[in-house]
Structure 1
Amino acid sequence: ILYIISVFLSLTLKVNGWCYRSQFSCQDTCRGEDKHSKWKNNFPNCGGQRQSPINIITRKVKHDPKLTSFIFDGHENLVYHNLRTLSHFTLPQSVRLRGGGLPATYKAVQFHLHWGENGGQGSEHSVDGECYPMELHIVHIKEKYGSLGDALNDSTGVAALAFFFEVLIPFSEIEDFKLTDIIPQANKLNYYRYLGSLTTPGCDQAVVWTVFQQTLPISKKQLLFGTEKPMTGVFRPVQNLNGRVVYTSVPAHNLCVLPNLITLFLCLFCVFGQQRCFH
């Protein structure tokens, strides 16, 4: 299902002169983000203080009451069945996104996917160190801007929605990949919010990120690419948080109930255990 996309990305990255860590080799002249941080050397913004993606540490997130439900206008018309043509990357700018604590109304630009290999790590963001096989990004820009390039000059000019995908167990066949199946659910999902950047060069620090907490199902078959091996491992490693705060739409008491109960039971166990020893 993603083979055509992977071929397209291979050509695009070659033209732009940069590549992912998985593509870097001693024989390749592309500028990969390996342990020597070549993205930063060639694209200064990639070494900035609010880079994406990040690892979200749930015990450190803070509740923000302004993170309410989103209002999706026109997303119900986004019926992209299987992503077999390249034009499916582009979204009509008549589609609007507002609410959710965003500072303005945003219009749709495009969507894209990041994936790994054989169902392994493929997501860019992670939660408490846990990665997922695939991550979807739906990109919007403030409606007052005419292009993504214009929006990148604004520190909150871009709003990106990130969805994690998880392979169904037991396996279930999902024939089509439809944004109309995803967007309606988003209004019911809890999410994280932080300020970050594009995850590809030039890594412009202009993105308001929304990372949805609940995963979406995908079949194992949808992560298989056929006999000819395409590009895999198209994700950027997590970046330093550098003091940024990650917020959540979930009230603090909902986050703390389970840990508090566990702590209470542990304390009672210790107390009764000590009393038994003394007797």
Structure 2
Amino acid sequence: MKSILSISSVLLVLELCSGEWCYQSQFSCHDTCRGPSEWKSHFPNCGGQRQSPINIVTRKVKHDPKLTSFIFDGHEKVFNISVENHGHSAHFTLPPFVRLRGGGLPATYKAVQFHLHWGENGGQGSEHSVDGERYPMELHIVHIKEKYGSLGVVLDWYMVLREDIVTSGQNKQLDRVIEALGKVRYEGNSSEIENFRLTDIIPEASKLSYYRYLGSLTTPGCDQAVVWTVFKKTLPISKNQLMSVDKQLLFGTEKPMTGIFRPVQNLNGRVVYTSVPAHSLCVLPNLITLLLCLFCVFGQQRRFH
């Protein structure tokens, strides 16, 4: 069994009007809220041409030499981090000294928060997909432009499910994030993680390859002012960690908070770029991708013989 937790950054804005929006998992005979298919009827931007998430088709991505390495500032610093249940997800607030620059971006961006998206019982729950494959979790780290405070940059990583995480001692810092979710079970609950560092759960910036495209927020009002960066570096998560996440939180309606993801949206002619030249696409950091690349090579060899 394999699963991937994608880490990315996006500003999650919860806009409500008469009747609250919801995820499809919340819809029932007793709660006929406005699910993703109806968002555009009440939030016009949600029907726009640059919506997120998307499916990334790797054979169609284009290399952009301007997509240079990122520089992360403050990710290694120790700080206390607060978490709050917002009714549709839980936000982990980040201090303003956590910044990023480089990566083909025009300015310096400061961190705001990170949050998770997941499915149910370890099932599909990521928002973005790669070559049609969706994974159990995705993590968004939100940044806004430092000078003007405008939206926004999204960074994305993938986490490979590994059964040996607990015994090998890797990624135990993720346990602290999951435990914190258990302390904010109800909407409006808040808690704190002490002595936290972003480098405890994500890698350093140097030499990270990634995809880039222009998109939107993945919740209403779906503002189309987000630069998405989807990293190819994978991070580990154990099956126990994955299965425990969707038991922690409740929606504002006190229904279990599961299936908190928006379905993929049409690309509508947008181009997805990559920081990796085409001849380097097979040199990626995880075994799954390596096997896919080998399959591609063997397929080409058979075609030409």
On whether the aligned pair clears a TM of 0.5, the verdict is yes
**Distance change >3 Å, CA 132–CA 186, structure 1 → 2:** farther
Farther off after superposition, 258-267 or 135-144: 258-267
- Structure (1/2) with the larger strand percentage: 2
Query: Does 2:225 align with 1:206?
Result: yes
Q: 1:20-64 CA deviation, whole Å, 9 max, x = no partner? A: 11111232132111xxx2101010000000000000000000001
**Distance change >3 Å, CA 171–CA 19, structure 1 → 2:** same
1:63 corresponding residue in structure 2: 63
Rounded to whole Å, the distance in 1 between the matches of 2:48 and 2:206 is: 32
The share of aligned pairs that are identical, in percent, is 71
- Which protein has greater RCO, CA pairs closer than 8 Å, 6+ apart? 2
Query: Does 2:172 align with 1:175?
Result: yes
Partner amino acid, structure 1, of 2:73: D
Shift of 1:172: 3.3
Shift of 1:144: 1.3
Aligned residues: 247
Partner amino acid, structure 2, of 1:97: L
Aligned-pair Cα RMSD in Å: 3.0
Rounded to whole Å, the distance in 1 between the matches of 2:303 and 2:41 is: 51
Rounded to whole Å, the distance in 2 between the matches of 1:180 and 1:232 is: 27
Alignment of 1:78-117 (within 5 A): 89-117=92-120
Rounded to whole Å, the distance in 2 between the matches of 1:216 and 1:15 is: 40
Q: In structure 2, which of residues 121, 145, 160 is the aligned counterpart of residue 166 of structure 1?
A: 160
1:277 corresponding residue in structure 2: none
Structure with greater Cα Rg: 1
**Distance change >3 Å, CA 89–CA 171, structure 1 → 2:** closer
2:180 corresponding residue in structure 1: none
**Distance change >3 Å, CA 13–CA 124, structure 1 → 2:** farther
**Counterpart secondary structure, 1:40:** helix
1:222 corresponding residue in structure 2: 241
Q: Which runs of 5+ in 2 are unaligned?
A: 1-11, 175-196, 250-254, 283-292
Partner amino acid, structure 1, of 2:158: F
Q: TM-score, normalised by structure 1?
A: 0.78
1:52 corresponding residue in structure 2: 52
- Structure (1/2) with the larger helix percentage: 1
**Counterpart secondary structure, 1:253:** helix
**Distance change >3 Å, CA 79–CA 113, structure 1 → 2:** farther
Shift of 1:108: 0.9
Q: Is the 8 A contact 2:83 2:93 kept in 1?
A: no
Q: Is the 8 A contact 1:190 1:249 kept in 2?
A: yes
Shift of 1:71: 0.5
Alignment of 1:257-272 (within 5 A): 261-269=297-305
